[in-house]
Amino acid sequence: RKEVEQDPGPFNVPEGATVAFNCTYSNSASQSFFWYRQDCRKEPKLLMSVYSSGNEDGRFTAQLNRASQYISLLIRDSKLSDSATYLCVVNRGGNTPLVFGKGTRLSVIA
Amino acid sequence: ETGVTQSPTHLIKTRGQQVTLRCSSQSGHNTVSWYQQALGQGPQFIFQYYREEENGRGNFPPRFSGLQFPNYSSELNVNALELDDSALYLCASSPAMRGRVDGYTFGSGTRLTVV
């Protein structure tokens, strides 16, 4: 079983739609959680960190459920520029590496 | 402040050859990590260097090796290349071994094709 699992998609949504991505992680020692965005043939870039209390950054909302070992990302009012692959990432803290999911591909269509 | 730079950007090698990829870390960052991203997959951790020593390794064979230099730049070497080594190789630097995890900065990667 992969340490971080995501639905690979693709999710094809119209502009203005709300879309949600889910992610589960298997290692209960995970301490830090993130969503990264990766455009085609580019490097991953940090979109937002995810906190237990939930956090919001503009149109993006991230949630963490430690009991269920589940992370989500909600994108409201989708824009064409949101088209990308969204990577769920966890970390066990200290000097341990980032552990990435396979990514969920989103296409926002005009 | 300069970011993470990787070279070359693209590379084509023949099976059995050796390759060296290079990474210059962001100013002020002393830790460098290397990741392999195969097509359609998330990045997979290869190893990490802190102050010129390997400080963690993923599930990769010994033919994947690395170095970190006093200026914190780094090299990834792969011997006896196999077709499955074809991937995007990403370097990420961070400010300290036990620093903030969201301080990682990724380079734009080296796309290696093995034929």
Inform me whether the C-beta atom of residue A46 falls under 8 Å from chain B C-beta atoms. yes
The residues in A 60-89 lying below 8 A from B, measured between CB atoms, are: 87
Tell me the C-alpha distance between B98 and A75, whole Å. Answer: 32
Chain B residues closer than 8 Å to A103 by CB: 41-42
Inform me whether the C-beta atom of residue B33 falls under 8 Å from chain A C-beta atoms. yes
Displacement of CA A66 from its chain's centroid (Å): 15
Residue in chain A lying closest to B94 (CA): A95
pLDDT recorded at residue A62: 97
Rg (CA), chain B: 13
Looking up tokens 């290696």, which residue turns up?
B112
Task: Quote the minimal CA–CA distance from A14 to chain B in Å.
Answer: 23
Task: Quote the minimal CA–CA distance from A41 to chain B in Å.
Answer: 8
Q: Could you say which of A43, A97, A103 has the minimum Cβ distance to residue B107?
A: A43
Tens of pLDDT, residue by residue over B13-25, are: 999 999 999 999 9
Tens of pLDDT, residue by residue over A53-109, are: 889 999 999 999 999 999 999 999 999 999 999 999 999 887 788 999 999 999 999
The dihedral through the CA atoms of B74, B101, A80, A8 has a sign that is positive
Give the least confident one: A47-56, A97-106, B23-32, B93-102: B93-102
Tens of pLDDT, residue by residue over B69-87, are: 999 999 999 999 999 999 9
Angstrom distances, CA of residue A62 to CA of A52, A100, B51, B91: 9, 16, 35, 26
Of the pLDDT bands very low, low, confident and very high (cuts 50, 70, 90), residue B30 is confident
Spell out the residues 6+ positions from residue B92 whose beta carbon is closer than 8 angstroms to its own: A98, B4, B32, B33, B34, B35, B104, B105, B106, B107
Inform me whether the C-beta atom of residue A103 falls under 8 Å from chain B C-beta atoms. yes
Inform me whether the C-beta atom of residue B110 falls under 8 Å from chain A C-beta atoms. no
Tell me the C-alpha distance between A54 and A52, whole Å. Answer: 5
Looking up tokens 């990682």, which residue turns up?
B104
Residue in chain B lying closest to A89 (CA): B42
Inform me whether the C-beta atom of residue B45 falls under 8 Å from chain A C-beta atoms. yes
Inform me whether the C-beta atom of residue A95 falls under 8 Å from chain B C-beta atoms. yes
Angstrom distances, CA of residue B69 to CA of A56, B54, B65, B99, B111: 40, 12, 14, 20, 23
Chain B residues closer than 8 Å to A34 by CB: 101-102
C-beta of residue A19 within 8 angstroms of C-beta of residue A13: yes
Q: Where are the beta strands (DSSP E) in A1-110?
A: 4-6, 11-14, 19-25, 32-38, 44-50, 55-57, 60-65, 70-75, 84-91, 99-100, 104-109
Of the pLDDT bands very low, low, confident and very high (cuts 50, 70, 90), residue B100 is low
Tell me the C-alpha distance between A70 and A58, whole Å. Answer: 22
* Residue B37 parent element (H or E): strand B31-37
